[in-house]
Chain A
Amino acid sequence: MKLSPATKNGIKLVTGNRTVRACLIILSGVLLLSLIGPFASRHSVEAINFDESLISPTFTDGRVFGTDDLGRDLFVRTMQGIRLTMAVAVVATLVSLLIGVTYGVIAGYAGGKLDALMMRLVDGLYAMPFIFFVILLMVVFERSMLLIFVAIGAINWLDTARIVRGQTLSLKRRAFVDAARLTGVPSMRIIFRHIVPNLMGVVVIYITLTIPQIILFESFLSFLGLGVQEPQASLGSLVSGGVDSMEVAPWMLLIPASFLALILFCFNFLGDGLRDALDPRGDAT
């Protein structure tokens, strides 16, 4: 497949930026560890063993991260937490991307009354207290992973829609869009062939900056006990459990919290680095 020069440029800029490269390496390392790690351990996620509860991290018996108050292996649970947190982040981002881009492009391209109506709706939704909205959802419906994905995605698409609409407004005034209209290209094809590809650059940067927000939000929900259900664990629920036994077993808090901090740091730096790398005004290369 022949890559477009914009894509090629993007790849070059990204790999040429030291911060971005370092973050990508750390993130893929953590993800790889979380995928492979559990197989290397002979302990299971669920097995409760009161005889082995609250073992502090040690290299004997493969208890590198120790165990929790129920005697579950913390290494395996942390790795599972990372997987789940990352999965929530990715799926919620895709949901927000799908809704936000579609909504924003339609509003921006249509313009006029429809645009005004659609964006006022977004303004209205912005004004809603979403924590309560999510709590309500969790209470009314049976708690499930799917619901968490949808709820978080449904919050984040508002920002995406605004950004995409703004980009669309400026892109549709460009002469190549006029040229396409003049040569009889139907509106749908103009949107998908001429507008969407040209706003992806901005959207990609924006998305890398929203992933940490989503991770944080999911952790927050799990911390409140509204997130994932036992025996499953996310980093947020592990931190929440760690807080309870902070005084007797500090590793139960520190280990998942460190991983959470590391992942958040990397995504934030990745977003900043991407923005620097793709900003035509900066000379990041």
Chain B
Amino acid sequence: MSDLLTVENLGKHFIVSGGLFGNFLGSARRVIRAVDGVSFSIAHGETLGLVGESGCGKSTVGRAILRLLDPTFGKVSLDGRDISHISRRALRPLRQNLQVVFQDPFASLNPRRTVGQSVAEPIKNYGLAKDAELRKAVERLFMRVGLRKDQIDRYPHEFSGGQRQRVGIARALGTKPNLIVLDEPVSALDVSVQAQVINLLVDLQQEFGLAYLFIAHDLAVVEHISARVAVMYLGKIVEIADKRRLFANPKHPYTKALLSAVPSPDPDHKKNRIILQGDMPSPSNPPSGCRFRTRCPIAKPICAEEEPELKAHGKHQFAACHFAAD
């Protein structure tokens, strides 16, 4: 099966200038390496989970793929076509295949338009339906995501967070995309509602053969929906593997630490919780060698000198650590 989305060595650097006088003096320009060389691919109908703590660049990866941000370097291809370096005009028809669901359901809908208008907008823009047909299409989408037909003419503030997220999903489905970037779609929701939305996403994936890039900071959520999982730390992928392998046998110490933080429903379960010391270093000044070494429980001198590459450890499992084989 060919890959739907390929991301090769994607990078996004932000330049922070040092204020008015810094600009004049041409000094104090800092480069924030939010994403620094990320590669992965997603097959048709597959879900890749992308996890990491806040500030690791996972949302930036999503936004760069969607071209809400222009990548600094690297290449993003959708169905074999480079979408990272073409003009916005050329991109427009391709975007039909690439949609998004945002994290905050309160910010993602225009408060002054009915939810029906919001859902209809993409369909209308791509000329997929008109008038009565458009109304029918919106009704179908509403029913499909578990909303009622009579809710179409209501405004976002009349809905709960979970319902709004369903509206957001309906909007993303309107253009019949192949790939949906889910940027922490359930992080803002209650746990019980999270499960409903995740189940809806799984159902929709099976029905429409969608591929997902599922961005989250919660491994438990990712475990349920993903086929493969990539773990990001400070702008780089430190481990990427099949879900089962990653959860059963993590190779990278950061992945191990993350997994040890997942709460278990079994009260007798003895946990060897790995507590990481300190905070994530600033992406404007990453540590030399391995980026994780400042917080790594097994760091050795070599880690400061040489940056570990993402190497295969077994089938479909890659980790970037000098001691992953141990």
Q: Mark A residues whose CB is within 8 Å of B.
A: 2, 4-6, 174-176, 178-185, 193-194, 197-198
Residues B158 and A184 in contact, CB atoms below 8 Å apart: no
Instruction: Judge whether A182 and B99 touch: CB under 8 Å.
Output: yes
Whether the Cβ atoms of A6 and B107 lie closer than 8 Å is no
Interface of A is mostly: helix
Q: Report which of A2, A179, A184 forms a contact with B126, defined as CB distance below 8 A.
A: A184
Verify B108–A5 contact, CB threshold 8 A.
no
Interface residues, chain B, CB within 8 Å of chain A? 66, 68, 92-93, 95-96, 98-100, 102-104, 107-113, 118, 121-122, 125-126, 153, 155, 157-158, 168, 171, 174-175
B117 closest partner in A (C-beta): A193
Chain B positions within 8 Å of A2 at CB level: 153
For A180, list chain B residues within 8 Å (CB).
Answer: 110, 121
Q: Is the CB of B68 within 8 A of A181?
A: yes
Known interface pairs A179-B102, A179-B171, A182-B66; A6-B96 also in contact (CB < 8 Å): no
Task: Evaluate contact between A4 and B109: CB separation under 8 angstroms.
Answer: no
A178-B68, A178-B100, A178-B102 known; 17 new pairs, CB 8 Å cut-off, are: A4-B112, A5-B155, A5-B157, A6-B111, A174-B107, A175-B103, A176-B107, A176-B108, A179-B171, A182-B66, A182-B100, A183-B95, A183-B122, A183-B171, A184-B96, A194-B113, A198-B111
Contact partners of B153 in chain A: CB under 8 A: 2
Residues on B with C-beta less than 8 A from A198 are: 110-112
A5 CA to B109 CA in the complex, in Å? 14
Cα of A26 to Cα of B259 in the assembled complex, Å: 68
**Most chain B CB neighbours (cut-off 10 Å) among A5, A184, A197:** A184
Q: Is the CB of A183 within 8 A of B108?
A: no
* A180–B110 CA distance with the chains assembled, in angstroms: 10
Whether the pair A176, B157 counts as a contact (CB closer than 8 A) is: no
In contact, B122 and A184 (Cβ under 8 angstroms): yes
26 A-B residue pairs with Cβ-Cβ distance under 8 Å, sorted by A, are A2-B153, A5-B155, A6-B111, A6-B112, A174-B107, A174-B108, A175-B102, A175-B108, A176-B118, A178-B68, A178-B102, A178-B108, A179-B102, A179-B108, A179-B118, A181-B68, A182-B68, A182-B95, A182-B98, A183-B121, A183-B175, A184-B96, A184-B125, A185-B125, A197-B112, A198-B111
